């Protein structure tokens, strides 16, 4: 059995349906564990006091904002080179969740910035490039909905996502390249960790929860997109969810 068969919407639709409950349950359990560690187990920060607990939401949201965009860029490459319909559908399914995480990163950052820096917002490189990322997500959603011909809208969307992906390394390295109000990374792949172990654990568990949530919600959304786009295909008319309801009514 080849994995490539799942690049066809008709094969992917039932597979996604089977995966959603697993990823959804994992996301819920990890979120409960992460919030428990973040709010009850992790110690108070010696400098910032209790307000630092925003980190358990802010950092996972910011990581997901960047990561989801990179995943969309990967699908954009597949869509442009191989013309796979499912890649464009996955991009469409991921974009709203990416936009929500970006908005959450900005919102929680503002609420964290006020008590620690004395301001909700500053036009520094990290914050401004994250705001541009939000505009890229919103722009992508607006663009694909503005063009009626799906082939053209998929192509235009994929190009926008690819061009915009240049912004992700700018966000990540902005605190190194420029003198920003935003602090540098507390967790780095090359320089290790500068936090207490329980703080890091809570943050990583929350990041994993966000990851599982993103997979669950985007798989669920892509199922809706598949039905919307392929509603005239015969296989869609034979799916269980449609026929079971028809028998009842």
Partner 1 sequence: MNWTDFFSMDGRGFYVWGSFGAFLGCIVIEIVLVRLRIHGAQAAVREEVVVQRLQERQ
Q: How far is the CB of 116 from partner 1 (least distance, A)?
A: 9
Interacting residue with partner 1 among 30, 37, 42, 57 (CB under 8 A): 57
Long-range interactions of 77-85: CB distance < 8 A, separation 24+:
77/158, 77/162, 79/154, 79/155, 79/158, 80/155, 80/158, 80/159, 80/162, 84/7, 85/9, 85/154, 85/229
Beta bridge partners of 49: 45
Q: How far is the CB of 218 from partner 1 (least distance, A)?
A: 9
User: Is residue 232 within the footprint of partner 1 (CB under 8 A)?
Assistant: yes
Q: How far is the CB of 35 from partner 1 (least distance, A)?
A: 8
Residues near partner 1 (CB under 8 A), total: 40
Site string for partner 1, 148-187 (x = CB under 8 A): ----------------------------------------
User: Is residue 65 within the footprint of partner 1 (CB under 8 A)?
Assistant: no
Closer residue to partner 1 (CB): 45 or 124: 45
Give the integer Cα–Cα distance in Å for 158 and 78.
Answer: 9
Give the integer Cα–Cα distance in Å for 136 and 203.
Answer: 26
Q: How far is the CB of 239 from partner 1 (least distance, A)?
A: 8
Interacting residue with partner 1 among 51, 78, 132, 138 (CB under 8 A): 51
CA distances from 241 to 7, 140, 217, 233, 235 (A): 21, 31, 18, 15, 12
Stretch that binds partner 1, among 55-63, 68-76, 134-142, 185-193 (CB under 8 A): 55-63
Give the integer Cα–Cα distance in Å for 117 and 108.
Answer: 13
Stretch that binds partner 1, among 56-64, 66-74, 146-154, 174-182 (CB under 8 A): 56-64
Site string for partner 1, 90-129 (x = CB under 8 A): ------xx--x--xx--xx--xx-xx--------------
What does the binding site for partner 1 look like in residue numbers (CB under 8 A)? 35, 39-40, 49-51, 53-54, 57-58, 61, 96-97, 100, 103-104, 107-108, 111-112, 114-115, 213, 217, 220-221, 223-225, 227-228, 231-232, 236-237, 239, 241-242, 245-246
């Amino acid at each position: 059995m080849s994995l490539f068969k799942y690049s066809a919407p008709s094969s992917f639709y039932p597979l996604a349906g089977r995966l959603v409950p697993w990823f959804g349950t994992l996301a819920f359990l990890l979120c409960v564990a992460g919030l428990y560690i973040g709010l009850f187990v992790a110690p108070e920060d010696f400098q910032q006091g209790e307000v630092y607990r925003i980190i358990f939401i802010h950092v996972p949201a910011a990581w997901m904002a960047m990561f989801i965009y990179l995943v969309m860029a990967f699908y954009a490459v597949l869509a442009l080179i191989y013309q796979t319909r499912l890649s464009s559908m996955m991009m469409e399914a991921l974009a709203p969740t990416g936009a929500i995480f970006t908005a959450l990163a900005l919102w929680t950052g503002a609420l964290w910035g006020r008590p620690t820096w004395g301001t909700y917002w500053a036009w520094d490189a990290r914050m401004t490039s994250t705001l541009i990322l939000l505009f890229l997500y919103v722009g992508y959603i607006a663009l694909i909905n503005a063009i009626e011909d799906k082939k053209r809208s998929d192509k235009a969307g994929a190009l926008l996502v690819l061009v915009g992906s240049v912004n992700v390394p700018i966000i990540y390295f902005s605190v190194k390249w420029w003198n920003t109000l935003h602090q540098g990374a507390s967790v780095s792949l090359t320089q290790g960790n500068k936090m207490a172990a329980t703080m890091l654990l809570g943050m990583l568990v929350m990041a994993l929860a966000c990851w599982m949530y993103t997979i669950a919600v985007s798989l669920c959304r892509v199922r809706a997109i598949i039905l919307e786009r392929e509603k005239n295909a015969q296989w869609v008319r034979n799916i269980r969810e449609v026929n079971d309801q028809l028998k009842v009514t």
